[in-house]
Amino acid sequence: MIYSAVFYFQHTSPQTVTASSGWPEESFPYYFAAAAPHISFCALLEQFHVISVAGFFKGMSFPLASITVYNSAVFGFFSNTQRLISNYRYGDGRHPCSMLDLTVASMLTGLMSVSLGAPVDLVKIRLQMQTQMFLAENLHLAGNVSNGTNIRLRSVSIPSQQQLYRGPIHCISSILQTEGLQGLYRGAGAMILRDVPGYTLYFIPYAIFCDLLSPDNTSSPHPCSIWLAGGLAGSISWVTATPADVVKSRMQADAQLQRKYKGILHCIIHSYKTEGVQVFFRGASVNAIRGFPMSSTMFLTYELSLRFFRGL
């Protein structure tokens, strides 16, 4: 299966500051993760002239509809898990958690997130894979032309009658009919490998940075400190999670036309043999850039919301 396409979503809808703050960058990691080696950044720039800035904001409806529920569940679960651990160990749900407590709460949060995040990511990638902007001539010519040869790339859209899915809901129902419930969790194993350590390296650095940026540990961190700590934690988490994210994306995109990978280990070995170790860090720089504004916004909103409701 040749991933010689730059794909984007079908539907557009505005909302939710968290999703919109990181949306253009969110499209790029999937381009790099699932694409063949010859799809370069120059190819993406070529597509920029075809689809314009608005093209990178297509498909916001499904993420915007799910991101609020997903992030609320993740942060709510993390907060309640901390409270349960503190109540069990210290007899007080408001007792500050130790680093071990935070680690346990973070890992459990990462495990829980897969139950919600795996179907969302699967549908997102399936929709990206079907609405492709093909780079004409590259199926046979890419990688076989001499340096300096200038081949003009043309965009070719897939006719609507050839599309497998009409939208997110139709995509979910089609997967359930053809692959069963387990089909919605295609790549969930790789997602566990991504999210369990990923959320550990998300909440732990955030707590550390907040402590470092707060001159008085007895007071609540300043909003600017929360914003900076959240952004740095997000960049660290996403960069370290990139290898597992590449494997997850390939596993989820694999079932679109025909199965290429037999499992997680086969995907890792096959990707390494054909594209080298660098393939597992494809899109890492984009993830770092994407992670900062998204995470800083989420942590700041989360902390300010907690202060507001606790003050009622």
Domains of the chain: 5-310 (1.50.40.10)
Helices 61-90/99-130 angle, 10° precision? 160
What is the model's pLDDT at position 20? 41
E strands, 36-178, are 132-135, 155-157
Nearest Cα neighbor of 139 from 158, 157, 153 is 153
> DSSP per residue over 182-223, as a string?
GGGGTTHHHHHHHHHHHHHHHHHHHHHHHHHH-SSTTSPPPH
Type of residue at 256: Q
pLDDT given at position 253: 80
pTM over 0.85: no
Mean pLDDT of the chain: 76
**What pLDDT does residue 125 have?**
82
What pLDDT does 252 receive? 82
pLDDT for the residue numbered 221: 86
Q: Give pLDDT tens digits for 192-239.
A: 999 999 999 999 999 999 989 887 766 678 899 999 999 999 999 999
Predicted local confidence at residue 126, as pLDDT: 81
For residue 261, what pLDDT is reported?
85
What is the reported pLDDT for 12?
30
Mean pLDDT, consecutive 10-residue stretches, the chain (312 aa), reads 29 35 48 49 56 56 76 92 93 88 96 92 80 44 48 50 75 89 89 94 95 76 93 95 91 72 90 92 89 93 87 77
- Single-letter amino acid, residue 30: Y
Confidence (pLDDT) at 57: 56
